[in-house]
Amino acid sequence: MAKSNKQWLRRHVTDPYVRKAREQGYRSRAAFKLLEIDEKEKLLRPGATVVDLGAAPGGWSQVAAARVKPGGRVIAIDLLKIAPITGVEMMQGDFRAAKLEGVRADIVLSDLAPNLSGVANVDQARAAGLAFAAIDFCRKTLKSDGV
């Protein structure tokens, strides 16, 4: 294992948020990012329709599903297969080709990240391309008062 991988693994296993996520049943430490954002902004509300782009492994979808009950809907989209989450509809594939059949979202979440090549210019261009695609997705999918 490369030195950088060993360092990452050491940091990961000692990270307090990784431990906290495991203890609270979240799939990733990223759940705490969304919890913090939502505590401040109050975006996720009962009955809301949420689309989660780049959803794997599902930490944000777990938070969203809990916060939009009752009557809410969460659609998680990712290229990777995501293990089922109660209250979340899974779509495996590219969000740019997703068929949402007229779904109008109140909220679009995005934690999209490209596959990294290690070449800064290439990685930056890929990240920008995903960001622009997510903006286009929002234009097509969000309700007029959506976020």
Digit-coded pLDDT (tens) for 85-131: 999 999 999 999 998 988 999 999 999 999 999 999 999 999 999 99
Residue 14, pLDDT > 80, answer no
Among the listed residues 147, 137, 145, the one whose alpha carbon sits nearest the alpha carbon of residue 53 = 137
User: What strands, in cross-sheet order, belong to the sheet with 73-78?
Assistant: 88-92, 73-78, 49-53, 107-110
> Which pLDDT score, from 0 to 100, does residue 101 have?
87
Domains and CATH numbers, the chain: 27-141 (3.40.50.150)
